[in-house]
Amino acid sequence: MASESESNGHHHAGDEARAENSGAGCRHGGDDGGGTPRTTPEIRYTKLFINGRFVDAASGTYVAVLRASSPGKTFETRDPRTGDVIARVAEGDKEDVDLAVKAAREAFDHGEWPRMSGSERGRVMAKYAEVVERHADELAALESLDAGKPLAAARAVDVGECVGILRYFAGAADKIHGETLKMSRQLQGYTLREPLGVAGLIVPWNFPAIMFFSKVSPALAAGCTVVVKPAEQTPLSALFLAHLSKQAGVPDGVINVVTGFGPTAGAAISSHMDVDVVAFTGSTEVGRLIMEASAKSNLKPVALELGGKSPFIVFDDADLDKAVELAIGGNFFNKGEACVAGSRVFVQEGIYDRFEQKLADTMKSWVVGDPFDPRVNQGPQVDKAQYERVLGYIEQGKAEGATVLTGGKPCGKKGYYIEPTIFTNVKDDMVIAREEIFGPVMCLMKFKTVEEAIERANGTRYGLAAGLVTRDIDVANRMARSIRAGVVWVNCYFAMDRSCPFGGRKMSGFGKDDSMHALDKFLAVKSVVTPVHGSPWF
C-alpha cells in the first residue's frame, strides 16, 4: 500500500507503565518533553512541478481589485510525531493534471527524451542518481519527518534504494531489444519495443521516495514521460526529487509532479484520455477504481501493486533465534506499514511454545519513539486516520477472542504511536487474520503438517509475498512451488532487490516493479513485416 517521525526518548510515567505491560519500550516527546522535534529539514518545495517549474495550483482566483491571482488551493501535511502541521502543499486538481499531461505529451511527442539513444538517457539518469546521493541527508530527513520513519533506516534503506534503483535502470536504458521472427513463409519479421508515451504514476505513502523511483526509473529508461501523483499524506519527498531532476538535467516536461488527493488528482490521471498507461501502488479498493477509470476512458493499460496478508511459516527444524528475528522484522519494520508484511505467522507445533516465549522476550527491548532518535525501532503511523484504523483492528481482535501477547494500546500522549501488538489464539476466519491491517500487528498461529501450512498460507484473497524458515530443502522447494504469491522468501524476509521482479497475484495485483520486467509495463511491442523475394533461405 498503496508503499509505507517519532519521539526523542524522553519518558512519561504513563508511557513507562504501558511499556512494562506490553513488553515494548515506549518513548514519546521532544528534547523538552513536549514533542519538539530534535531536528527538522527545511521545507523548500510545496508547489506543483509542471514542465520544469514549480507553480501554484490552478485553482487560484483572479482578484480584480488587486489585479493579481491568489495562490491556488493548498492542503496540510502533518508531522505524525505530534499531529502538527509541517507545511501547506499545493492541492492539484483536474485542471492541474491537464496542464501536467499536456507538458508530458509535448515532451514525448516533440521533445528530446524519447529520441535520445538509450545510452544517452542512461547517462542523464546516472547523473540524477549522483545528485540524489549528494542530497541523501536532506531526503532522509524529509522521509522521516513526513512519513514517521526512523531517520537511520530512511538514510540507509530508503535513500540507498532510491539511488540503486535509478542506477539499475540507467544501465537498463540501452538494453531494450526486440527480436527477429522466424516467419512461416516468404516474409521478414522483427519486433520493436517502443515507449508507450505519457505514464501516470500514483505512489503510496509508506515508502514515498522508493516508490517514486520504482515507478519513475523504468518509465524514464523506456523513454516515457511521466506525471506523478504522490500520496497526500507524504508529498514532500516527491517535490524535492522533482527539483533534483532539474539539477540532473532531465529535460522539462519529462517529470511532472501533481500533489493532491486521490478522488480528484488521482482520478483525473486514471481517466485522462491522453495518459497512455497508469502504474499504481496502494489499496485493492483504489486499484479497482483505477481499472474502472481506464475502461471508461481510453482503455489505457494498468499495472497494480496492491495489498497483502502474507504468511510467514516456521517449521520445527528452524533456527529459533533466526526465525524470531525474521518474524519481528517482517511484521514491524516500517511500523507495519508494508504491503509485504508477514503478518500471519504460522509456527509448527513442536517449536511453537519456545517461539512464542522467545518472541515475547525479544519484544521487551523494542523501542517506539521519535524517528530522529537513533535508539528507536518504530515510529508513529503515518497519520491520524491510519492510527485510528489500526487501533480499530486491535480492538476487533480482542473482541473476536484473540489473546494479546504484547502491546495492544496507543503509545504516548501525543502523535500517532501504537505499541507493537502480537495476538495469539488467532483463528483463520477472524478479521485480523483476513484483512490487511497495515500497522504493527502480528497474528501468531500454530500448525501441524506441511499440507496444513500450504492450505492455510493460500487461504487468503491476496498473493503478494510469503516467507518460510526451514533447514529441509525438500520442504523449502515444496512450499516455494505451492504457495500462490509473487515472491517466496526462504530463510529470509524483506529480501528485496532491484534486480528481482516484485509484484503480486490474485487481489494483490499484476505487473512487476524492479528488474527488467518492470520495463514491460511502459513498452509496447510492435511487429514489422516485409516481403522477402528470392531469398536463399527462410
The set of catalytic residues is: 305
Task: Determine the 3-state secondary structure of 502 from DSSP.
Answer: strand
Size of the chain, expressed as the number of residues it contains: 538
How far apart, in Å, are the Cα atoms of 418 and each of 125, 169, 383?
39, 37, 12
Residue 59 neighbours by CB under 8 Å, 6+ apart:
72, 73, 91, 93, 95, 96
Give dist(CA 388, CA 293) in Å, integer: 30
* Residue 260 region by backbone torsions, left for phi larger than 0, else alpha for psi between -120 and 50, else beta: left
The amino acid that residue 118 corresponds to is G
Q: Which of 325, 361, 526, 331 is nearest to 438 (CA)?
A: 331
Give dist(CA 45, CA 250) in Å, integer: 18
Task: Determine the 3-state secondary structure of 193 from DSSP.
Answer: strand
Give dist(CA 341, CA 329) in Å, integer: 9
Q: Which of 474, 186, 476 is nearest to 466 (CA)?
A: 476
In SS3 terms, 73-85 reads as CEEEEECCCCCCE
Can you read off the three cell numbers belonging to residue 228? Answer: 506523478
Can you state the angle between helices 236-248 and 118-134, rounded to 10 degrees? 120
For residues 418 and 391, the answer to whether their CB atoms sit within 8 Å is yes
Residue 131 neighbours by CB under 8 Å, 6+ apart:
244, 247, 248
Can you read off the three cell numbers belonging to residue 344? Answer: 500471519
